[in-house]
Amino acid sequence: MSKQDLSWAIPVMRMGYAGRGIVYVVVAGISLFALTRGGEAEGTSSALEQLEGSAWGSVVLLLIFLGMAAYAIWRWIDAAYDLEDYGGEVKGLIARGGMIITGAIHGALGLFALVLLFTSGGGGSGSTIAEVVRWVMGLPAGIWLVGLAGAITIGAGIYYVVKAVKEKYRAHLRANHFTRNWNPALKAGVLAQAIIITLIGFFLVFAAWQADPSQAGGVGEAFSWLRDQAHGRILVIAVCIGLLGFALFCFVNAAYRVVPKVAGDDVETLARRAKGKAEAAMG
């Protein structure tokens, strides 16, 4: 399939990253506000529920629904056509499998936002992920599916750590004044996301090991686990600030992300710029 045939996926991708950024602004913003007032950090579902009844809540929920739907579609298209050129080897297939799972998770989050738009409540205080896990465990080989999803999620978390430490995300960002100067915030954001994703993966694996869907959890349960550690409140605040950095990372991707199989060869990414400067210095 030619670059022109795939170009329609780019607006979907940009809308998806923008919606994802809004979600993390809401989650991290509400959590930090609660923490400064002696409360506790909120999970994604609880944070979205707090938008109900607020002046701009319906508008934000609608934007989140549209953004999450777009992001889910983008992840599935990306995995199917390998738009980011991961390849067909084991490492590439794992990365593309992770895209399918993250697409499903964000699609479910979009549906949750849509439900909140048309109902008067979220339907309970339990973990949305735990409810999905309970349904999956009822399927044939459901426990194994949950365990596999957890293992892939942990792998995705480790990938995010490597992505942050080695700054691999620079290969997908267009080089300009903004992306060059805000790199520390982007890096911190990716690391914070890595922590959350890895914890969610371990929750899924533990739920499968115990055959107990209530052991699964999302962002809220990750905050609770961090809070129970030494200096837990400081850890939660640090991760919330990091998630604001990840929201910035999402918005930057919405504006400046480069898709290898669609972008032209003349597009200068941060990684290509850094490589060029290094070669010039050596030559």
pLDDT digits (tens, 9 = 90+) for 25-43: 988 888 888 888 777 777 7
pTM given for the model: 0.83
CA distances from 7 to 31, 164, 246, 269 (A): 37, 28, 26, 18
Query: What is the three-class DSSP state of 173?
Result: strand
Instruction: Name the more confident of 280 and 170.
Output: 170
Band the pLDDT of 99: cuts 50, 70, 90: confident
pLDDT for 123 equals 47
C-alpha to C-alpha distance for 190 and 276, rounded to whole angstroms? 25
